């Protein structure tokens, strides 16, 4: 019995060693580097950016990577103006932005944008027609949707947000968003607001959905990672990292890392669909 157990432990240890070696190889490009990378923009990207940065800086303390949010429009504008090295966006840069700034786009993940309510809310499924009426302010009471006789509190993002852009286009068919809607600045802020408001409704990156909010099915399809991957859940978008011109040096190595086996494993672990 001891012999069998030893063999199992040995095989497991070898497998872990091989995985560690493979991932270490993905980070090898950073061993002899030094310098700084400044990143800003889309907030959906932040969990992946932070983990990638932590791994790189943990390997090599001579590399410093700073990460800020601000939304997709901010990311595109700041990288275009040379204020940061990488500008993240949850939408493709517009043709005029690409032309103005000479942007290069790198899509390293696919993300769903999920409708969310407070866990205390019993409404867990909406048609597109219902959702459009809710966000336009035409349906203003949860009772009209089978919930409590209480007013609906709308939460949205500002117009620089890539999350808002894909939600407005694919969920609302570019319909109206009522002027009474509350504005929040990030996926994290949206999740926090909905978790504190029993009568609120908003939207977040599927990768940000946890037990603090309740996902709402859209046209009968739940906003899950599997449904995004299969294409069944249609409110989805690419996650992009943008550079001004072709990236070089440390910046290129960081972007390349996102497409390695380890980088794509990290993408999946943070709740997104890898592109590889």
- CATH 3.30.43.10 assigned to 112-236: no
Q: What is the CATH number of domain 35-109+238-274?
A: 3.40.190.10
- How far apart, in whole angstroms, are the C-alpha atoms of residue 68 and residue 164? 18
Running DSSP on this structure, what letter comes out for residue 171? I
Q: Angle of helix 249-258 relative to helix 46-59, nearest 10 degrees?
A: 120
Q: What is the pLDDT of residue 24?
A: 56
Q: What is the pLDDT of residue 18?
A: 39
pLDDT in tens, the chain (276 residues): 444 433 333 333 343 333 444 445 899 999 999 999 999 999 999 999 999 999 999 999 999 999 999 999 999 999 999 999 999 999 999 999 999 999 999 999 999 999 999 999 999 999 999 999 999 999 999 999 999 999 999 999 998 898 999 999 999 999 999 999 999 999 899 999 999 999 999 999 998 899 999 999 999 999 998 999 999 999 999 999 999 999 999 999 999 999 999 999 999 999 899 998
Residues of the chain with CATH 3.40.190.10: 35-109+238-274, 112-236
Query: Phi/psi at 43 (nearest 5 deg)?
Result: -80, -20
- Cβ atoms < 10 Å from Cβ of 83: 12
**What Å distances lie between residue 65 and 25, 49, 76, 128, 168, CA to CA?**
20, 9, 18, 41, 32
């Amino acid at each position: 019995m001891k012999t069998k157990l030893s063999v199992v432990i040995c095989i497991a240890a070898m497998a872990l060693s091989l995985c560690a070696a493979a991932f270490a190889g993905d980070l090898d490009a950073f061993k002899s580097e030094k310098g700084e990378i400044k990143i800003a923009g889309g907030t959906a990207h932040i969990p992946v950016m932070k983990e990638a940065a932590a791994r790189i800086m943990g390997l090599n303390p001579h590399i410093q990577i700073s990460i800020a949010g601000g939304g997709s429009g901010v990311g595109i504008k700041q990288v275009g103006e040379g204020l940061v090295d990488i500008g993240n966006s949850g939408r493709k840069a517009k043709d005029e932005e690409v032309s103005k700034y000479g942007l290069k786009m790198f899509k390293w993940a696919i993300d769903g944008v999920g409708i969310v309510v407070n866990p205390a809310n019993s409404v867990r499924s909406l048609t597109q027609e219902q959702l459009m009426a809710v966000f336009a302010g035409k349906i203003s009471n949860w009772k009209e949707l089978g919930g409590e006789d209480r007013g609906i509190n709308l939460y949205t993002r500002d117009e620089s947000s890539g999350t808002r852009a894909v939600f407005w286009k694919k969920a609302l068919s570019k319909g109206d968003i009522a002027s009474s809607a509350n504005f929040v600045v990030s996926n994290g802020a949206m999740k926090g607001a909905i978790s504190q408001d029993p009568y609120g409704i908003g939207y977040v990156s599927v990768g940000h959905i946890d037990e603090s909010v309740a996902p709402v099915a859209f046209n009968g399809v739940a906003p899950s990672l599997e449904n995004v991957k299969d294409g069944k859940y249609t409110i989805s978008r690419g996650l992009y990292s943008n550079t001004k011109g072709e990236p070089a040096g440390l910046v290129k190595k960081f972007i390349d890392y996102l497409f390695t086996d380890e980088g794509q494993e990290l993408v999946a672990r943070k709740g997104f669909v890898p592109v590889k």
